[in-house]
Amino acid sequence: MTTFRLSRRGLLRAGGALTLCAPSISRAADRPLITHGLQSGDVTQNAAIAWARVNQASRVRFEFSTTESFKSLVGAVWADALPESDFTAKAGVTGLPPGQDIFYRAIPQNHADPSVFGETAIGHFRTAPADNRTVSFVWSGDTAGQGWGINEDWGGMKAYATMLKHNPDFFIHSGDTIYADGVIPAEVKLKDGTVWKNLVTESKSKVAETLADFRGNYAYNLLDKNVRAFNAHVPMLVQWDDHEVTNNWWPDEPLNRAEHGRKKYSEKFALPMVARSHRAFHEYMPIARDPYEPARIYRKINHGPNVDVFMLDQRSYRGPNGGNMESEYGPNAYFMGPEQISWLKRELKASKATWKIIAADMPISIFVVYDGDTKKGSEGVSQLDQGKPLGRELEIADLLSFIKREKIHNTVWLTADVHYTSAHYYDPNHAAFQDFTPFWEFVSGPIHAGTFGPGELDRTFGPQLKYIKAPTAEQGQNTAPTAGLQFFGHVKIDGQTQQMTVTLRDVADNALWATTLDPVRG
């Protein structure tokens, strides 16, 4: 696979790349500025989403080419950046050639005076191949959590720069894309006596409740130079989890836990904040909008004959957190919900890709406690009873049985959420529930947040722990990024053999553990 980097001109705003960007009379104050870099996402063989944000009402033209010179275009679309969308502009393009490096540029045009254009910004992505060539991608989750924000003295969010070294075809962000419920303090004193110094903004000085607050959380992460450089080169497949709204939420949750009181929420229920966060998420993320369900996050992304990625939403349709011990499947046991489960079964059965990547925002068997004050209740799938499926486990059991019954091969689960990295092999011979085909689940994160763990494993589905790296007892919980325990996973699918190699890595790019999986044929 060709290693690609934008030229120095491409990495900078390409002022002068077009004659229309440099009018003879200087009107700098009127020129719209691209403020938070470029992003691309949901890239397939012939389509992609492009994103930019400007500082004033503008029309943004996105142009696409197979050469950095933009001598000829393979697509062009435009979108308006308006106050109603916090001046973000997002547009989809189709008709792109498969398996190509695509350069794209954003050209902002002043709404108030169409003769005034701002400087051009240039980005890059690679479309999915139509043939059996090698594909590689990275995944992680958990950005700017537990008070660990942008420390420019330390180098910013360095794990994004580490991921960029691998020149991946795409990045799966497994959720907790922001920590809307997490304040970023100006300073944090570390155990060694040194001080972690954060970049601080108004939006990150309190928990998010208003639409402006949520928008400010997304904008904060884009202030980091490593994030912007990564986004300019690598398309993202994004999902969300709890911290996009508040810790461990479900849609109908009353905000009456002790931690809600400490955070001083004025809202009485999560649902109004969910709606505002949903809007900010779709404004700031390069995710394609479903025409019939605009807030929908779950979707399938095809990346050529060897890869289908199934992006799940395990937050928006769930029933209440807590015991999750129901013996029959119903609303209280929903995790993904019946509509999403039906969609997933249908799409998995229809998939012709060699590998079916199930991108989940939470692990299957790592127990996550719901209420940190009482230490009670389940936030995830498992409830740590080690027995037959109950509650949310009924949904997973039904799905796994379907995969076995329909002879759907080569499913691999990727996730984050728990703030450490591990590898689990699910073996029915070691499980309380045995009606499934063995499969792997890989966990990696945080990408820039506090490190926690390890968590306890529920044996209902027979997970065998093959690798784990988490803080030691001496390091403690909420370990600072300076400890080096920031993690991501790298996947490489060989174009000739279709073998999948999964490598768990840290911020220093150390290969911590790896395995190669052979595809099942037929």
Task: Please state the rounded mean pLDDT for residues 62-69.
Answer: 97
Quickly name the fold that domain 8-126 has.
Answer: Immunoglobulin-like (2.60.40)
The mean per-residue pLDDT over the stretch 34-40 comes to 98
pTM tops 0.85: yes
Amino acid letter for position 446: P
pLDDT score at 14: 35
In this predicted structure, what is the pLDDT of residue 413? Answer: 99
Rounded distance, CA 239 to CA 300, Å?
12
Measured over the CA atoms of residue 323, residue 325, residue 326 and residue 330, the dihedral's sign is positive
Q: What tokens appear for 155 in the block?
A: 């180098």
C-alpha of 98 from chain center: 24
What is the average pLDDT across 487-491? Answer: 98
Residues 100/126, Cβ–Cβ less than 8 Å: yes
Question: Contact, 475 vs 482, CB < 8 A?
Answer: no
- What do you get for the CA distance between the two ends of the chain, in Å? 28
pLDDT at 358 over 70: yes
| Closest listed residue to residue 103, CA positions, set 119, 121, 88, 89 | 121
Return the minimum-mean-pLDDT range out of 1-5, 195-199, 274-278, 450-454.
1-5
Comparing C-alpha atoms, which of 425, 435, 430 is closest to residue 465? 425
Q: Mean of the pLDDT values across residues 51-76?
A: 97
Domain ranges across the chain: 8-126, 135-517
- The mean-pLDDT minimum among 11-20, 37-46, 397-406 falls in 11-20
CATH number of 135-517: 3.60.21.70
State the residue for tokens 């690598």: 234
Residue 47: φ, ψ to 5°: -145, 160
Q: Tell me: pLDDT of 350 over 90.
A: yes
Q: So what's the pLDDT on residue 59?
A: 98
Q: For 261-282, how does the pLDDT look when each residue is reduced to its tens digit (9 = 90+)?
A: 999 999 999 999 999 999 999 9
Q: Which residues lie across from 516 on neighbouring strands?
A: 501
Q: How far is residue 146's CA from residue 384's CA, in Å, rounded to a whole number?
A: 26
Residue 520 pLDDT exceeds 90: yes
DSSP 215: H
| Cβ neighbours around 259 below 10 Å, total | 15
The whole-number average pLDDT for the span 92-101 is 98
Q: Average pLDDT, whole number, for the chain?
A: 94
Q: Give the pLDDT of residue 13.
A: 42
Q: Report pLDDT for 6.
A: 55
Q: For 453-463, how does the pLDDT look when each residue is reduced to its tens digit (9 = 90+)?
A: 999 999 999 99
Q: Is the pLDDT reported for residue 336 higher than 90?
A: yes
Q: Given this model, what pLDDT does residue 134 score?
A: 98
